[in-house]
Amino acid sequence: MPSSGDTADRRPHVVLIPSAGMGHLVPFGRLAVALSSGHGCDVSLVTVLPTVSTAESKHLEALFDAFPAVRRLDSQLAPFDESEFPGADPFFLRFEAMRRSAPLLGPLLTGAGSSALVTDIALTSVVIPVANELRLPCHILFTASAAMLSLCAYFPTYLDAHAGSGVGDVDIPGVYRIPKASIPQALHDPNHLFTRQFVANGRSLTNAAGILVNTFEALEPEAVAALRQGTVASGFPPVFAVGPLLPASSPGVNQANDPANYMDWLDAQPARSVVYVSFGSRKAVSGEQLRELAAGLEASGYRFLWVVKSTVVDRDDAAELSDLLGEGFLERLEKRGLVTKAWVEQEEVLKHEAVGLFVSHCGWNSVTEAAASGVPVLALPRFGDQRVNSGVVARAGLGVWVDSWSWEGEEGVVTGGEMSEKVKAMMGDEAMRRKPASLAEAAATAVADGGSSRRCLAEFARLC
């Protein structure tokens, strides 16, 4: 309940409740800063320590240091026996642990005196009942694409209509057909922990007060329109397309101490000459696929900056680069490539004029950052929503996705030969940059004064 009876002069106090993983924390941090610095809100961010990865704890620390106006609300996890789910992904396990701990939020939120909540899709079905009990409006920040939001909203209806027949192509009303092969791997198994969470959250979306989504109209016109018109799910709450959420522009939020000196290295490269390769923070790329990538980058002849990740959780990563990439690779390519296992400030890399192409797994934050920077994307999705996002990339003209390329759980790898052919074709084609450049302009317009995303965020803040 609002902390003060004097609602006329009340500054809204928005409490943000993210889930786990950098893909979720980064946009929540950006929203926190935007609401606090630009929209007159008091903002608190619920944190659960220890985090799953080191990247998350460093990010939170840097965020709270740089933006003391964003308050930190520490929450606890209830005891949870992970052995119920042997072999499960550590981030899915954390989602489940947080979901089971939702009742602990009640006293925390009452003590904080909040006027509105914004939670993550992964926690939606368990946080909304807590919010209802406290008579607080509960909004969702959907950190992935509007296409994925429409899949999440429609999937329960799809399952009800196709009970017992397995998941095939999913034709989302008013949006488009998501082919079976692009549906996140886990959703083909109705008993998968992620599927159970996904369906429960999808069913409860219509009970949210509003949904913020980190996209902009020019990037996903069909999905944004269909969600707003209630074509995807009737009675759908207001949808605020507020993206691309901008990085919290303070050097303090940058967590890298840049052991690889990659910014100096980029400064020394000619304009548009470098291929930036990264697969996000959340998943390992298999050893075999890493070696094919290495062969592809070598054969392409182009310069590259490659962030290698070979474990799911960063603290577990003890492998030597030379072992991962094959003998002699680093020595042979020393003059034209920089390879690092350290965290890089991706936004800064993508804005650097030396970068001409982004070979990306198409995590949604990476896609929005590429769009905001006007850098063409060569999509190499591995897992989860990344094929849906790669479809958005191809549809919007932000880049190229070869949809026959395999991903995690399928036979085969994308070979070095296939990779180098696409890298060469994209780097050598000036025209390939036009559409990404116009999307970058559209992104800048959307978040500028009077732009659609900025207006949506202001409208949302007024509701808090």
Is residue 403 part of the annotated active site? The answer reads no
Select which of 120, 314, 352, 361 is catalytic.
120
Choosing from 48, 122, 131, 274, the residue that interacts with ligand UDP (CB under 6 A) is 122
Q: Which is nearer to ligand UDP, 12 or 293 (CB)?
A: 293
Select which of 24, 59, 139, 361 is catalytic.
24
Of 37-45, 140-148, 220-228, 397-405, the window that binds ligand UDP (rule: CB under 6 A) is: 140-148
How distant is the alpha carbon of residue 346 from its chain centre? 13
User: 45 with 119: CB under 8 angstroms?
Assistant: no
Q: Does 280 bind ligand UDP (CB under 6 A)?
A: yes
User: 322 with 308: CB under 8 angstroms?
Assistant: no
Q: Does 344 bind ligand UDP (CB under 6 A)?
A: yes
For residues 153-212, which are near ligand UDP according to CB under 6 A?
184, 197-198, 201
- Residue with the two structure tokens 């799911």: 312
Cα–Cα nearest to 215, from 392, 68, 399: 392
Q: Does 281 bind ligand UDP (CB under 6 A)?
A: yes
Report the nearest approach of ligand UDP to the CB of residue 257 (Å): 13
Q: For residue 328, what are the contacts with CB-CB under 8 A and spacing of at least 6?
A: none
Q: Does 18 bind ligand UDP (CB under 6 A)?
A: no
Is residue 120 part of the annotated active site? The answer reads yes
For residues 429-448, which are near ligand UDP according to CB under 6 A?
none
CA angle centred on 456, ends 239 and 367, rounded to 5° = 75
- For residues 188 and 166, what is the distance between their CA atoms, to the nearest angstrom? 7
Choosing from 17, 152, 308, 400, the residue that interacts with ligand UDP (CB under 6 A) is 152
Report the nearest approach of ligand UDP to the CB of residue 196 (Å): 9
Cα–Cα nearest to 41, from 18, 62, 71: 71
Q: For residue 220, what are the contacts with CB-CB under 8 A and spacing of at least 6?
A: 145, 146, 147, 241, 392, 396
Tokens of 345: 């400030």
Of 98-106, 294-302, 362-370, 432-440, the window that binds ligand UDP (rule: CB under 6 A) is: 362-370
Q: Which is nearer to ligand UDP, 292 or 347 (CB)?
A: 347
Q: Which is nearer to ligand UDP, 26 or 274 (CB)?
A: 26
Q: For residue 379, what are the contacts with CB-CB under 8 A and spacing of at least 6?
A: 360, 362, 386, 389, 390, 393, 394, 399, 400, 401, 402
- The residues carrying an active-site annotation are 24, 120
Positions in the binding site for ligand UDP (CB under 6 A): 21-23, 26, 91, 121-122, 143-144, 148, 152, 184, 197-198, 201, 278, 280-282, 307, 343-347, 363-366, 369, 384-385
